[in-house]
Amino acid sequence: MVHKQPGQCPVCGGDMIIKELECPTCQVTVRGSFETCPFCILTGEQLELIKIFLKSRGNIKEVERELGISYPTVRGRLDDIVRTLGFTPPKPEVTRGMKDELLAKLESGEIDADEFVRKLDEAAA
């Protein structure tokens, strides 16, 4: 039986190294110190999301449709994966459409200036 390669030690959480590799076809064994796959630290759910994301060629709407989850949930899960892999997720850009929508609400009196600034900050966070 073959098990999934652990990325982190189940005891202390440290990074694992591989000491031995074996070819199941010819039984050749190689010994040494090898790095683990960086994706081995991801959960099964995270790996599944990456597979679907790649299958859809990065189209978040398709990922959303296939998993039956919302766009913000897909983005949040992708950001979690990015953080797990040791990167900082990019801050989303405030689009011109977002700005125009907020300006229209400000001009119509639907929101005040403080709320305009707060919503603009939230959109960029």
pLDDT tens readout for residues 9-39 = 889 988 888 889 899 999 999 999 888 788 8
Domain encompassing residue 104:
93-125
pLDDT tens, 112-124? 888 888 887 777 6
* Cα(47)–Cα(120) distance, integer angstroms: 33
pLDDT tens, 61-84? 999 999 999 888 898 899 999 998
What is the structure's pLDDT at 92? Answer: 66
Residues 48 and 80 in one domain: yes
- Tell me what percent of the residues of the chain surpass a pLDDT of 70: 95
Residues 77 and 100 in one domain: no
pLDDT tens, 83-106? 989 898 777 666 777 788 888 888
> Based on the structure, what is the number of domains in the chain?
3
Sign of the C-alpha dihedral computed for residues 72, 73, 74 and 75 taken in this order: positive
CA-nearest of 47, 51, 53 to 4 is 47
Cα(first)–Cα(last) distance of the chain, in Å? Answer: 46
CA-nearest of 51, 49, 79 to 64 is 49
pLDDT at 48 over 90: yes
